[in-house]
Amino acid sequence: MDTVNKNNNDIYITLVGFNQFHGTKPFKINSLLKLVKDPNNQYDLEAIGVHMRYAGQVAYVANSTRTVVKGTMSGGRLYDKILDTDFAEVKFISNDSIIAKILTDDEIEELKKDPENDINFILD
C-alpha cells in the first residue's frame, strides 16, 4: 500500500461531527485517536471515523472544503495514504473544530512500549 510518508512531514487533520457524539468533552490536548476507514458510510465513501478508548466513535475526519481547516489534510486526500486503522493525537481544540496530528510509525511504536497507554487498548 502506498501510505503517506508520516515520518518526514507533520500531517494535521480536522475533526468534525463530534457534536453528533459527545461534543468536545472527551477531547484533551494529546488525547490518542484511532482513525478507522469507513468504506460503507452512506454519505461519504472516503469517510474516516475517529474513535477513543473509553468513548467509542467521537468524530469523523473532515472531508469538505467547508469543514477542512486551512493547513490540514482532508479525509479524501488522507484516505488512500493511511492504513485501514491508524492513529493521531489531538493538538488544538476550539468550540467548532478539533485539529489532530497523524502519528508517525516511530511515535506509535514508542506509545506501544507503555503498557498503560491507550494505544494498547484500542488496537483491535
In the chain, where the domains are located: 12-120
Separation in Å, CA 38 to CA 50, 70, 95: 10, 24, 25
Q: Which amino acid belongs to residue 71?
A: G
Residue 83 in contact with residue 41, Cβ under 8 Å?
no
What pLDDT, on the 0 to 100 scale, is given for residue 76?
94
In sequence order, which ranges of the chain are alpha helices (DSSP H)? 75-79, 105-112
pLDDT tens over the chain, length 124 residues: 444 555 557 999 999 999 999 999 999 999 999 999 999 999 999 999 999 999 999 999 999 999 999 999 999 999 998 999 999 999 999 988 899 999 999 999 999 999 999 999 986 6
Residue 11 in contact with residue 4, Cβ under 8 Å?
yes
Distance CA(74)–CA(57), nearest Å, equals: 19
Separation in Å, CA 8 to CA 36, 49, 91, 102, 106: 22, 24, 18, 12, 11
Q: pTM for this one?
A: 0.90
Which CATH class name applies to 12-120? Answer: alpha beta
